[in-house]
Each structure stands twice: as structure tokens, then as C-alpha cells.
């Protein structure tokens, strides 16, 4: 089974993670198929960047997210798009509006 999970990178006591698509049998920091984003819990606020199109592609083709990745995908609204509660265009449009409001 293909899973979407975290791949730990970073120094000792300074974790940062890549969000990867990997075979379930591969070790945590072992072989993976594709990197679709990254997550840094050490920044304030936490940094989560996900390639929405690739994440949706893998979800539609049967990849199962781990519990931690599922929470991250909820934050970035990828799971809402996957369930059909939102559209990719609407989410990207609201992100662009939020960035414009900050500037």
C-alpha cells in the first residue's frame, strides 16, 4: 500500500520533515516515491507547504495519509478538496486574497 507520511530531516533536536509518498514497507527515512511538501514545527507559526495538485493526485489514486499527515492536509484544505467540500480554484483564490491582505 502507498502511504503519504513524514520523512525526518534536520539535526539532532532540530527536526524538520518532508511530506513524502512511500511504500508502506519502506523504513521511515528510507526509500520514497515522491516529495510533495515539507513541514517545520519549530517555526512560529508552524510552516506547512504542500503541493496540492500532487497530494490530490496521490489521494485519488489510493494513497493513505498517516494520522499526522492527515492533520497537516486538513490545515492546508487538501482533505476538504479530496472529499469534495471545496474546489482547488476556490482554495487557491482565498490563499491569494489572504496573501494580498497581509502585504
CA distance 54 to 57: 5
77, pLDDT greater than 60 = yes
| Cβ neighbourhood burial of 46 (10 Å; 0-12, 13-18, 19+) | exposed
How far apart are the two ends of the chain, measured CA to CA in Å?
43
- pLDDT (tens digit per residue) in 2-38: 999 999 999 999 999 999 999 999 888 888 999 999 9
C-alpha cell at 10: 534536520
Integer angstrom CA distances of residue 17 from 5, 39, 72: 9, 5, 12
**65, 4 contact by CB (below 8 A):** yes
pLDDT at 95: 63
Amino acid at each position: 500500500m502507498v502511504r503519504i507520511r513524514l520523512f525526518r530531516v534536520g539535526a539532532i533536536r532540530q527536526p524538520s520533515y518532508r511530506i513524502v509518498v512511500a511504500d508502506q514497507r519502506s523504513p521511515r527515512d528510507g526509500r520514497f516515491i515522491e516529495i510533495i511538501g515539507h513541514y517545520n514545527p519549530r517555526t512560529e507559526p508552524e510552516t506547512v507547504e504542500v503541493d496540492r495538485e500532487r497530494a490530490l493526485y496521490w489521494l485519488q489514486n489510493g494513497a493513505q495519509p498517516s494520522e499526522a499527515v492527515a492533520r497537516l492536509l486538513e490545515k492546508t484544505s487538501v482533505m476538504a478538496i479530496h472529499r469534495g467540500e471545496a474546489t482547488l480554484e476556490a482554495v487557491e483564490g482565498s490563499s491569494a486574497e489572504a496573501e494580498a491582505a497581509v502585504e
